[in-house]
Amino acid sequence: MLVVGGSMAQGWLDARRDSYLRRAFAELSSTTSVHWQYVDRSRPGARAVDVMHRYPHWLSSIKPQVVAIAWGLLNDCHKHTPMARFKYAIHAEIDGALAQHAVVMLVTPPVTEASSSFYRAGTERYLAAEVEVAHEFHNPNVHVFDILSQMRRYMAAHGQTYWMYYGNSWHPNSAGHRLAGRLLYRDIVHTLGHGPIVYTENPQSEKPTLERAGSAGASAL
């Protein structure tokens, strides 16, 4: 599998740099018949718009069966990424993965202080936009795993705040990565089961255009 994202996807502020994504797929490897080969192409400080020139090479050289698109969205908030450019980049990442017959997982980030306070509104705008782009494909090979919303619900149900999972303003600590990874693992199993994650050939889908998006025991890689 191929992972693209920023510093949260890379595991910053976790004691062992075990990101929530790496934790989830390590648990899948240990509890299912599939051993996942994890290829990390996350780039701290980067946004989806920053890796568009590299991403096609990653796809063609790695040939992943699954692509996890896991941007933290805070860099977009901080740099004020134009929404049209953001949606175009997310569309291109999903479309490129599908062209390689890879299953796509759009994964939203864990809770942080920034996404709970000064960048909360911005995070929610970018999150809603990327989820909208994913849903516009109407493709059974595209899955959305909204970890941010799940983690917020978990915290509310247990009387917790982001301080329990605070690494710094922009990153969760080890406990935050651990909780987010566990939620992601459970969501993947609930959605896709314990077996191999396989691309559905000839899906009945209506692929949106780039212009529309811009305006609106086995081993697996």
Query: pTM score, two decimals?
Result: 0.91
Write the CB contacts of 5 (distance below 8 Å, at least 6 apart in sequence). Answer: 21, 42, 43, 68, 69, 70, 71, 72, 107
- What average pLDDT score do residues 113-132 get? 97
Per-residue pLDDT, averaged over 3-27, amounts to 93
Domains of the chain: 2-198 (3.40.50.1110)
For 169-213, the pLDDT digits (tens) are 999 999 999 999 999 999 999 999 988 999 998 776 555 555 444
Inform me whether the pLDDT recorded for 151 exceeds 70.
yes
CB atoms inside a 10 Å sphere around CB 61: 10
Under the banding of pLDDT at 50, 70 and 90, the label for residue 14 is confident
Strands 103-107 and 34-36: unpaired
**Two tokens, residue 73:** 């969205």
Mean pLDDT across 47-65? 97
pLDDT in tens, 76-101: 999 999 999 999 999 999 999 999 99
Compute the distance between CA of residue 45 and CA of residue 77 in angstroms, rounded to an integer: 12
Q: What is the dihedral of CA 86, 181, 221, 44, to 10 degrees?
A: 40
Bridge pairing between strands 142-145 and 103-107 = parallel
